[in-house]
Structure 1
Amino acid sequence: MDSDSRLDLEFAYTTYRDCCRDLYSPYYYCRRPLGHDGVHAAGFGSGRVRWEHRPDHAPHLLS
Structure 2
Amino acid sequence: MSSDQKLDLEFAYTTYQDSCRDLYSPYYYCRRPLGHDGVHAAGFGTGRLRWEHQPNHAPHMLS
Could you tell me the TM-score, scaled by structure 2's length?
0.91
Q: CA RMSD in A?
A: 1.1
Quote the residue 1:51 is aligned against. 51
Structure 1: gaps of 5 or more residues = none
Alignment of 1:1-63 (within 5 A): 1-54=1-54, 56-61=55-60, 62-63=62-63
Structure 1 moving runs of 4+ over 2 Å: none
How far apart, in 2, do the equivalents of 1:47 and 1:58 lie? 21
The offset of 1:60, in angstroms, is 3.8
SS of equivalent to 2:4: helix
Structure 2: gaps of 5 or more residues = none
Q: Per chain length, whose mean CA-contact separation is higher, i.e. which structure has more relative contact order (CA < 8 Å, sep 6+)?
A: 2
Number of equivalenced pairs = 62
Contact 2:23-2:57 within 8 A present in 1 as well: no
| AA in 2 matched with 1:5 | Q
